[in-house]
Structure 1
Amino acid sequence: MIRHALLALATALASPALAEMSAAEFEAYTTGKTLYFGSNGREYGVEEYMEDRRVRWSFLDGRCREGEWYEDSRGMICFVYEDTPEPQCWSFKRSAAGLVARFEDDPEGTELYEATQNREPMMCLGPEIGV
């Protein structure tokens, strides 16, 4: 199912340039949702968007990272996670198929696109316990 959505989205991305989303638009679109992202036709990761701009991210491996997002002075959406103190900033746009995210708004950088969404919480494995 996700693979079909990724192919449909790749086709939709061939459309004209899209306007960047403001922080208010991004918050209204994402809050309460879990979005699955793809990159270059492959599954990439999932993020759950909660109240108060809190997020939970996973590379689809069951390990989740808690974080939060904010808008920086350039109008980009920046994420800070519990294990990554350096902000990761993205520009977001809406296409007919969903969100398109570009890392640091760099045309040569990583681009993610929304493959699918739901309102179900992410599945996260418990803490790793070692000997």
Structure 2
Amino acid sequence: MADAAAHPSSPSTVRSEDSVQELTRLAGTFQKQSHGLWTRWSKRHFLLQGGVLFWSNRELTGDTVELRDSAKVSFIDLSQTSVEVRGYGVAGLVIVKPSSRSSWHTGDRHGCVGTRRSIFFDVGT
């Protein structure tokens, strides 16, 4: 069997309004890597709803508007930034980054807003 970390799946791109509307509601938990001098992995609850990926260290409840208004909830609005998603199956690692010549939309709420930095999630835990 091939090593998944050495051969990532091809990236998926999400952008158009039609693509965003096709995304289903999905919820669960994952580990998210922090940014900065001392990186660490922290458990986060996530919710994919209405084309927006929300995450928080607390359980996520409420509709899209309530979640966007909560200062304790980070999110990526997938209708605002074209993204590439790479999954490394065996490791359970998912990397989300803006597509070429894009940066994270300033209307999002997370530590990479306005940059091209990748966001790392460990969904295998």
**Coarse TM-score class (shorter-chain normalised):** 0.3 to 0.5
Q: Output the TM-score relative to the length of structure 1.
A: 0.40
Q: Which has the larger share of strand?
A: 1
Q: Which has the larger share of helix?
A: 1
Q: Output the TM-score relative to the length of structure 2.
A: 0.42
